[in-house]
């Protein structure tokens, strides 16, 4: 038993799973609050081809990221709310997807990048306003909100009915998933954040993004690495119809493979890539969850 545990009378004899879980989470939160999490942003550039190294942008945990984490700590401490969420999830999980349950309960919001990090990736001034943004698989719209600040018109897509409801609550236009790529509208920015590993046809989505970008437009694509596809909607085996043939096992190897084996053959020019934490609000046992995101800024090759 640790020194911290010894200082709390009787903590070593707690038999209640709930109380022990709360105590362990408190200890873990204290460690995390004093951690700058440099490992969330680190890439070993010695393992990346030289021509790709020049595209890397180094970030760190900024104020907006810290604010999201503080929000996670606070919400995780709402004991009765978390118990209610846990109960509802166990019941609703029989007939609803995890994404839809989170949308219904207003939990599980995501964080990928801050406004300042987005400005640096896109080289835009704080007061700059582009014309039109499309966010694919926008979820509850929390990340969409960050991108929306820089665009006059915001469109979105989403498979989960409850998340569609949340997006409309925020005032975002939601385009049906079977019509968003009909070519009627082009976009200055298309967000495809943590969607390629959750959809059945990732190549088709990337091809459609290429067609719908304006000549000077950008796409921002985030992918969790290691790449492990899992199709949540309309799939009996959760396997995609189309496969992305990503090489390598490490973050660096797979990020480089996305550039050379996926984006470039489709006609994209990769302007930047970086590593960011893909953060999600936690539960009673853990204040937040984190995955490794490779984030790429793409533009049309002819414009590069």
115-124 pLDDT, tens digit each: 999 999 999 8
Q: What is the mean pLDDT of residues 195-201?
A: 94
pLDDT band with cut points at 50, 70 and 90 for residue 10: very low
- What pLDDT, on the 0 to 100 scale, is given for residue 61? 97
* Residue 287 contacts residue 304 (beta carbons within 8 Å): no
- What pLDDT, on the 0 to 100 scale, is given for residue 7? 47
- What pLDDT, on the 0 to 100 scale, is given for residue 3? 45
> pLDDT at residue 219 above 60?
yes
Q: What is the reported pTM? A: 0.84
pLDDT digits (tens, 9 = 90+) for 138-175: 988 999 999 999 999 999 999 988 889 889 988 999 99
* Residue 160 contacts residue 168 (beta carbons within 8 Å): no
Structure tokens at 77: 């401490």
Which residues on adjacent β-strands are paired with residue 151?
Answer: 130
Structure tokens at 25: 């989470």
> For residues 25 and 31, what is the distance between their CA atoms, to the nearest angstrom?
10
Which residues on adjacent β-strands are paired with residue 136?
Answer: 192
Paired sense of beta strands 187-193 and 213-224, if any: parallel
> pLDDT at residue 96 above 90?
no
> For residues 246 and 147, what is the distance between their CA atoms, to the nearest angstrom?
28
Query: Per-domain residue ranges for the chain?
Result: 108-300
Give the 3-state secondary structure of the chain.
Answer: CCHHHHCCCCHHHCCCHHHHHHHHHHHHHHHHHCCCCHHHCCCCHHHCCHHHHCCECCCCCCHHHHHHHHHHHHHHCCHHHHHHHHHHHHHHCCCCCHHHHHHHHCCCCEECCCHHHHHHHHCCCCCCCEEEEEEECCCCCHHHHHHHCCEEEEEECCCCHHHHHHHHHCCCEECCCCCCCCCCCCEEEEEEECCCCCCCCHHHHHHHHHHHEEEEEEEEEEEECCCCCCCCCCCCCCCCCCCCCCCCCCHHHHHHHHHHHHHHHHCEEEEEEEEEEEEEECCCCCCEEEEEEEEEEEEEHHHC
Lowest mean pLDDT among 2-16, 36-50, 56-70, 266-280: 2-16
Q: In which region does residue 263 sit, left (phi positive, over 0), alpha (psi from -120 to 50) or beta (all else)?
A: alpha
Structure tokens at 66: 């810290």
pLDDT band with cut points at 50, 70 and 90 for residue 30: confident
> pLDDT at residue 84 above 70?
no
Higher-confidence residue of 286 and 155: namely 155
Cβ-based neighbours of 11, under 8 Å, separated by 6 or more = 1, 5, 23
- What pLDDT, on the 0 to 100 scale, is given for residue 8? 46
- Please give the CATH topology (third level) of the domain spanning 108-300: Rossmann fold (3.40.50)
Lowest mean pLDDT among 19-33, 166-180, 188-202: 19-33
């Amino acid at each position: 038993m640790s020194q911290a545990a010894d200082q709390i009378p009787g903590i070593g004899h707690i038999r209640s799973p709930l109380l022990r879980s709360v105590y362990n989470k408190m200890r873990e939160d204290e460690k995390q609050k004093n951690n700058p999490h440099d490992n969330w942003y680190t890439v070993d550039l010695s393992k990346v081809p030289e021509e790709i190294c020049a595209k890397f942008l180094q970030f760190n945990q900024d104020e907006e990221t810290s604010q999201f984490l503080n929000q996670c700590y606070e919400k995780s401490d709402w004991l009765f709310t978390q118990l209610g969420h846990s109960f509802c999830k166990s019941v609703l999980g029989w007939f609803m997807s995890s994404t839809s349950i989170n949308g219904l309960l207003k939990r599980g919001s995501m964080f990928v990048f801050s406004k300042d990090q987005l400005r640096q990736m896109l080289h835009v001034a704080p007061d700059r306003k582009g014309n039109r943004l499309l966010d694919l698989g926008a979820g509850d719209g929390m990340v969409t909100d960050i991108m929306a600040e820089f665009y006059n018109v915001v469109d979105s897509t989403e498979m989960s009915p409850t998340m569609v409801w949340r997006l409309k609550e925020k005032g975002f236009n939601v385009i049906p998933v079977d019509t968003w790529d009909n070519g009627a509208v082009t976009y200055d920015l298309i967000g495809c954040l943590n969607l390629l590993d959750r959809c059945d046809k990732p190549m088709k989505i990337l091809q459609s993004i290429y067609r719908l970008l304006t000549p000077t437009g950008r796409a921002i694509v985030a992918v969790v690495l290691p790449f492990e596809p899992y199709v949540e909607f309309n799939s009996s085996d959760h396997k995609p119809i189309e496969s992305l043939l990503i090489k390598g096992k490490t973050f660096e190897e797979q990020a480089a493979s996305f550039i050379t084996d996926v984006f470039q053959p489709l006609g994209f020019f990769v302007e930047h890539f970086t590593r960011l934490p893909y953060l999600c609000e936690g539960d009673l046992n853990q204040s937040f969850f984190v995955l490794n995101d490779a984030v790429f800024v793409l533009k049309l090759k002819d414009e590069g």
